[in-house]
A = this chain, B = another copy of it.
Amino acid sequence: MSNANSNSTDVIIIGGGFAGVTAGRELSNLGLESIILEGRDRLAGRTWTKESDIGIPLEMGGTWVHWAMPYVWSEVKRYDLPLYITPFAEEAYWKTRNGLSTGTPDDLADVLDNGMNQLLSRSLEAFPTPHDPFPLTDLAHELDPKTIEEAINELDVSTEEKDVLNGIWALHFNCDAERGGFTTALRWGALANQDWKYLAEITERYKFVNGTQELLNAIQNDSKSQVKLNSPVTSIDEQEDQVVVTTRDGQRYSAKQVIVTVPINALKNLEFNGPFDPNALSIAQAGQASNGLKVWMRVQGQHKPFHCLGTSQDTLHWIQYENDLDGDSVLVAFAPDASRLDGNNVAEVQKALHEYRPDLEVLAVDSHDWVNDEFAQQTWTMFRPCQLTGDATTLLTKHTRTWLAGADYAHGWTSFIDGAIESGMRTARRISRTL
């Protein structure tokens, strides 16, 4: 055991999001010391419960949890944290090449149903044990070159159906559907027992009353891990008997092992010197698929809960009602391409909203552009075609004294808080068996 105030420890954890703090707590419970080096001036990574510009705290990143997400659910209940629901929509609006349609959410679900069932019908064949995807099945290998857009276009469904399918998957991928790999959709499908309505329920219904921050703080409060904020790491040097980590301000830290929780697209911030250089992999150079935006808005007046679905071509391709705020309405929306919208510009957001609801007046907006955030450079990780069977397998399974953990490297719910907790816990435990 090293001195608590020295720069030497058992395990260095780069990044203090859910994976990092979970790993730190797990190591603490095992009697191991760790130091979390966090580049930002706050913990929590791509979750961020922020005092927002629209008058209430908002989730700028990861938000929803569910009991079908086993790792985060166990933590929600460990700390007895209250949840509440995104209300069920009463009206639906969907844009296709036929123009704007309106109806009930069930009407929209009916347009989606046939295609979604077809798309996900082989999910469990491709990923029979979806929390343990490796080694990948032959079917996963066979389907990995396909984009989700190609998989949709091959279906024997109408053009309207293809357009809404494009929109819903562009939403899930947080990018144009032409960028997303079909196998990533199948992994989600397998985790939701091939039921697309259950998938929707799992991924966007239950939220934290007091923010995702409350869970992160609860985990960190149970940890003895030391946190160093404002400490961006520049290099990781693996030596025969230790790892040396250097921060931007020239501080050097040493440990027996290091956990890197940096998102895939931001790995290039780091220089890896040693037997494993993730940046030598094409996936680190090309980046994963997501490059969209999450936008919050406050609109004038009270409105019935509703949702809007567009396609990859729309500025905003998903908008949903979240709650009443002093007689106004709070909406959350997603854009498939962060470069096409300034999420902090009221006029731009209002113009995009008016494609569906010209009757609504936007009073205030808030958004964080994760794609242009140096420590993220992306939103949630979704693989492009050929990545899962290619370099992603290496990223998700290889380690030396350098271990990758985080939602990006999860084996189950990749890209969710659940996956971050899973990989943080798994990695800390595996490291403990080597020490």
Contacts and interface: CB of A to CB of B under 8 A. Distances in A.
A74 B74 contact: yes
Nearest to A82: B132
A150 interface: no
Nearest to A30: B222
Contacts of A68: 68, 70, 193
A67 B198 contact: no
A412 interface: yes
A429 B222 CA distance: 12
Most chain B CB inside 10 Å of its own CB: which residue of A26, A73, A79:
A73
Nearest to A421: B74
A130 interface: yes
A425 B78 contact: yes
A80 B431 CA distance: 12
A422 interface: yes
A126 B424 CA distance: 36
Given A68-B68, A412-B67, A131 B73 contact: yes
Q: Give the interface residue-count category, chain A.
A: 20 to 34
Interface string A37-69: 000000000000000000000000000000111
Interface in A100-154: 130-131
Nearest to A222: B29
A70 B425 CA distance: 14
Contacts of A430: 80
A407 to B, nearest CB: 15
B70 A67 contact: yes
Contacts of A30: 222
A188 to B, nearest CB: 14
A193 B205 CA distance: 14
A70 B421 CA distance: 13
A70 B426 CA distance: 15
B80 A74 contact: no
B193 A429 contact: no
Nearest to A201: B193
A196 to B, nearest CB: 12
Contacts of A412: 67
A356 interface: no
A195 interface: yes
Most chain B CB inside 10 Å of its own CB: which residue of A73, A77, A425:
A77
